[in-house]
Amino acid sequence: MGSRGKGRTLMEVGPDGVAIITIINPPVNSLSVDVLRSLKESFDQALQRDDVKAIVVTGAKGKFSGGFDITSFGGAQEANIERPKPGWISVEIITDTIEAARKPSVAAIDGLALGGGLEVAMACNARISTPTAQLGLPELQLGIIPGFGGTQRLPRLVGLTKALEIMLTSKPVQGKEAFGLGLVDGVVSPDQLVNTARKWALDILDRRRPWVYSLYKTDKIEPLGEAREILKFARAQARKQAPNLNHPLVCIDVIEAGIVSGPRAGLWKEAEAFEELVQSDTCKSLVHIFFAQRGTSKVPGVTDRGLAPRHMKKVAILGGGLMGSGIATALVLSNYPVILKEVNQKFLDAGINRIKANLQSRIKKGKMTQEKFENAITLVKGSLDYESFRDVDMVIEAVIENVSLKQQIFADLEKYCPPNCILASNTSTIDLNLIGEKTKSQDRIIGAHFFSPAHVMPLLEIVRTKQTSPQVIVDLLDVSKKIKKTPVVVGNCTGFAVNRMFFPYTQAALLLVERGTDVYQIDKVITKFGMPMGPLRLADLVGFGVAVATGSQFVQNFPERTYKSMLIPILQEDKRAGETTRRGFYLYDDRRKASPDPELKNYIEKARRISGVSIDPKLVKLPEKDIIEMIFFPVVNEACRVLDEGIAIKAADLDISAVMGMGFPPYRGGIIFWADSLGSKYIYSRLEKWSELYGEFFKPCAYLAARAAKGIPLSASVEQVKSRL
């Protein structure tokens, strides 16, 4: 987004009497208060000048405007900062200056017209766009609603149903589709854009084309009764899809206010609601996630060295299982040629078929054409030996979590791959120093930890050891960008950042279950909190084999704070291994739909007897708030250790890791951001109490204790803590 204070508009008047007003605020011509003030001044000037007949609004360097500058939100959320009064932008500038102008205006749209950018364009009397321009109102992604008249003008231009869809999904439409909807009036190539808009503006002036005020259009708005039905349905959908979010409902209310009481009343209601939402916790959390996501690719001491990423011409993948085939899919979707190696022909065929199935599911969803599918499949070559590895630029190992197998593979790779080939492992828990122990290539060994399914999940955990060269990290950051993943660079340890942080997630649930809390109640509460599924349903999905293999790594490395439950091994003894065997904590039907299992209580009782644990009456009827805290505070505690050990560079990286790797609700701002909203003192006191009652598993770490003692946020850096001491 553009930075505050630098943006402006520029006005030039042509010999035809059309004033071209250009928004200039690189890189995406975002609308700061300064830009909007300058836009108003340019309009006022154009209206006063006798040589100006009509106006065209456009953006510099092929981008109309990417919307209101999000960096301004920080200011908007600080009470002591002077801000424009509500409605100053939407009423005074957009409506009473641009739309009410005595001279016609046309928006010439290329690149982006998002958020406030589209709202400015909708206030013009017509819009001309290029076929690939992106038009949309994505404000709901940030916990707010369109605030410059979008809730009023969009329904009047495209109809209520489509306007609701565009706003509630935050998905932009392209110029071509926008023309079909009536959002733009003409579609032309970029080189003809401004000239076409000039002519259009003069045609409006001479009444050859209609002079339209979007705010007062009524032909696309349904009669009141019908409109109310559409809005009622939209409300029901919003409640179902985002039960913890209020702002989608506010958006629908504001749209309704404009239909019932008239558009001008709707504008004032919108301005008032926007002001309130900017101050909300949801908005603060989502804005934090917005910037945290963009900050993950900046790694001090690595990305500030001026290193250019090397071109990856060919990538090899070892293992065609669920993970390997998913990684291969992600790579071929971005045109990387891939060699897939397996131990025998049967496994190789199965791996290639998995890749085909992944791609075919994209065709079914309309995300891929048959032609692109054919091209993607030609990029995959199968192999049963290392001969074809002699010219690869990167290898990603994705075999089972077995230390000696991985050590053997890396020793082989060193013999066959070129000397500067990147040797990456997709291990989720095993220390990379162990994996590369038998090689002399420590500087090019790196973790490329994808999350399952690898071609769908947005996170890539890039794990560096103390020996990994900065060049290799820069190369992998570039690959992650090309395959459209959000990278998080972390240090090397058991479980790295995401799995290490979340290993107490299932363990806390097992501790509660053995002491009397209902399995299904835990999952219900955690899902209601906003997780895609509860910890025990997740254990079923991952499979108990994986749960035990990864769990044993934590038992080995963090014995003092690992909760050793007997429940999963007991279930395994009875051939229950989770969803794949149709029985775990839940029972699964043919469509993998989960339902509670009445027999589960027998296994829980057996686990209690073996562990010597008894039911705690306090934990049987545990309030929802306590379930959430007893499940997540151990996760927060482990996240603090990850920060303390320097495994993560900054707290915001852990927030993104939790959101994108584990499905932690983004509207809560990530694990550390959420913890800071509750306060380090509170979290410390709760963990301290539970550790007295239930043992070391809950014991608060030194990092948390130090911050709690001074009431300092968990996200504060070591320097900030020192300055408080």
Active site residues: 119, 139
Please name which of 6, 5, 19 lies closest in space to residue 194, comparing C-alpha atoms: 19
Write the CB contacts of 349 (distance below 8 Å, at least 6 apart in sequence): 382
Alpha-helix residue ranges (DSSP H) falling in 61-129: 71-76, 116-123
The answer to whether 291 and 255 have CB atoms below 8 angstroms apart is no
The span from the CA of 511 to the CA of 564, in Å, is 9
- CA 457 from chain center: how many Å? 10
CA dihedral 699, 704, 709, 712 (to 10 degrees): -160
Residue pointed to by tokens 């930890």: 449
The span from the CA of 633 to the CA of 630, in Å, is 6
Beta-bridge partner residues of 114? 136
Beta-bridge partner residues of 462? 448, 489
The answer to whether 135 and 118 have CB atoms below 8 angstroms apart is yes
Write the CB contacts of 637 (distance below 8 Å, at least 6 apart in sequence): 504, 683, 687, 698, 700, 701, 704
The span from the CA of 593 to the CA of 683, in Å, is 36
Enumerate helices (H) and strands (E) in the chain, giving the number of each. 30, 19
Tokens of 723: 């300055």
Residue pointed to by tokens 């209609």: 210
Write the CB contacts of 205 (distance below 8 Å, at least 6 apart in sequence): 53, 54, 103, 104
The answer to whether 104 and 125 have CB atoms below 8 angstroms apart is yes
Beta-bridge partner residues of 246? none
Write the CB contacts of 348 (distance below 8 Å, at least 6 apart in sequence): 320, 340, 341, 342, 382, 383, 384
Tokens of 281: 């916790």
The span from the CA of 571 to the CA of 548, in Å, is 12
Write the CB contacts of 18 (distance below 8 Å, at least 6 apart in sequence): 52, 53, 54, 55, 56, 198, 201, 202
- CA 47 from chain center: how many Å? 44
Beta-bridge partner residues of 136? 114
Write the CB contacts of 28 (distance below 8 Å, at least 6 apart in sequence): 1, 2, 63, 65, 66, 67, 111, 112
- CA 344 from chain center: how many Å? 38
Tokens of 466: 């103390």
The answer to whether 561 and 508 have CB atoms below 8 angstroms apart is no
Q: CB burial class (10 A; 0-12, 13-18, 19+) of residue 698?
A: buried
Q: How many CA atoms lie within 13 A of 625 on its CB side?
A: 3
